[in-house]
Chains A and B, each alone.
Chain A
Amino acid sequence: MQALQRPLQAVFNVLEGWLDRPFGPDWNPLYHLGALGFFYFWVVAVSGIYIYIFFDTGISEAYDSVEYMTHEQWYLAGVMRSLHRYASDGMVAMMMLHLVREFSLDRHRGSRWFTWFTGVPILWLVVICGITGYWLVWDTLAQYVATATTEWLDWLPIFGESVARNFLAPYFLDDRFFTLMVFLHIAVPLILLLVLWIHLQRVTKPEIFPARGLAIGSFAMLLGLSLFWPALSQGPADLSRVPAVVGLDWFYLIAYPVVEIWGAGPAWALAFGGSMLIAVLPWLPPLRKRSVAQVDLANCNGCTRCQEDCPFAAITMIPRSDGRPFEREAMVDPELCTSCGICAGACPTSTPFRRASAFVPGIDLTDQPLSDLRQRIHDGTANLTGDRRVLLLGCAHGIGTGKAVADNVAAVQLPCIGALPPAFIDYVLSRDLADGVFLAGCKGGECYSRFGLRWTAQRLTGQRDPHLRARVPRERLGQLQAGARSGKHLATAVRAFQAGLPQRPPEPESPRTREAETV
């Protein structure tokens, strides 16, 4: 599977790099594909409600009413019709890119299987919405779509009567068929909305609306496109004639040429087989489950910070079970935990200064405990010498900090940059383990574990607990700038940081003789 993911990842890497320059991480469309998909959905919904006001159901009325909107009331209903079409196409584009990108980043396995799996019916529902929508216009494209769809459906042994017979000739067509289509075109999007809601059930704080700048830009793009290239009908449908050449919407109707070339049976096999394959991808192969976060009640005071920061709703607060005078305690759902460690980074008891008691935070990863991180920092920095010693703390999903990127730099990996309690930075600098600490998150400014970069930035700037203490000299803290996406970028950034480190003032006392601090 990695052989498939790596080239895709490389392509996205390049595209993201290009888009980072004009957009920046907050507005880069590739980092917000799901939110953009939602945004287009809302544009489709609002524009659809408007054009429904003017739409007539009937064999001739349907086409005439759409023509009225397009030509007579072009400035509003016509624009709305175009917005409806282009936003629908944009939604398909975002959906497919979202799917491929999540797969390439391996964000579909393990505890994330549910979100991936529930995305598969969304693919079907979106396509059904599009097909029923094109049907309603009742132009030559609609005639083709109606005929081809029903001929394809008739292959399935589920209809008593041939559905395609409804479109044999004008004699067979009934106004009530349009009523049915309108019903489907309204009912299916509502079902889609329900499935979208289910899709996000295991995602904390889902991004369902893009950043304002990205939303404004996207809407302006749709509006401009609607004004300069309005959606048009392709001539009235006439069942006594064959629409030999049609202008297909390739976003929605790409399956139809496949049906005609391969035949209905193989096309169904491809549709169902492809959907099944996509659905089972999380288990091809299954992700090796790392040990999940574990709560240590002796150190948990039920402060809820871990629950607040968990990106996958894996932590719930339950009534206290150990009799201690706190209202609640954290509980981890192992099925939902992705072992990112962000909860340990959020815990106020995750402080490495502890000496009086064993370093056991209120919540921690059992196979990558923070006590182990403290030890690895000690081991890594032990060999640093001189006055420009740098500790590089990097995300395992980032550019790769498994080895030192420059002289006099010790590299230590974390499961996520958000798993780093800010107290560790204070600890490294105050204990003189290094002269500077450099943090390297995920590539391109988008966190593999969703919130690691965001929470870290907020913790370092004092906007989020636990925050970095004021006494920590900020000039000794470096961060990989978002947008950097290669080892070369990282090495350059670390060397620049190293070169800019100020000289340390003479220490009044040896760190070895400093009294232990406890929490």
Chain B
Amino acid sequence: MTGSDNTPHHPSPHHAPGPPTLSDTGELPAVELPDPATRPPPCEPPYLEAHGLTATGPAGPVYRDVDLTAARGELVALVGDSGSGKTSLLLTLAGRFRHRRGHVSVGGDRRPEAIRRKVAVAAAAPAVTLDPHHTVGELITETILTGCPATRDNLRRVWELLGVDAHTGTRCGDLAPVDRTLLALAFAAAARTPVIAVDDVDAGLGGVAAARVWAALRLLADQDHVVIATAVRPDLTPDVVVRLHPATGGLPRPHGVQAHTVVTRVVGREPP
């Protein structure tokens, strides 16, 4: 089991160096405490907690023993190659996946139905996608029908906040990938759930477009959401990074190779 502790983190060059925060279990980290001035500990209890999450598929474990905490206002990145179990873990945290062991608690509730009410899934291919044959207008209708209380007013607000650029007559499949992702985020945010989950935020995006999406995610987190996003590369600065290893691409793992997860809490970021 590798994911339960806060392992020492080596921040990227563009982050201010800082010590790791308190671990989610409340234990003291093995390394030196950070300077409280640079990174105050979260003043709120974690909104989203996961303990010992393990899921298995026909080819063995998909992810193993994931422990994770996130407070409102935090951005969680689930990072790994394609086939490493990111989508499964994302859906598990959203109360939409049958895992084998461990539990997820969102807002203090462990029941999947209750979790689902608190988490909106923007995209999680192939489970949840925006149909490319629908127009944006039709997708708005669909969002209002399926995402109560996603009203047009709510939608307009996040639409402006995220700077979505899409005309209602355009077919979703004709939108630029970045616009499609932003649209999905806007739809999810319109439901005003405390948690927003989005899969593969950087898929098919170049650096600039990916940066736009990460910026949008941060914006949403700053709106007091817990934002969980999966990505191949965590280009920017999430608060929590969960690295999933190794990718199997759906194939059985070689004998002796175990799935494992590394959870890192990023330090040195300004609190929201």
Q: Do A and B come from one complex?
A: no
Binding site for B on A (CB under 8 A): none
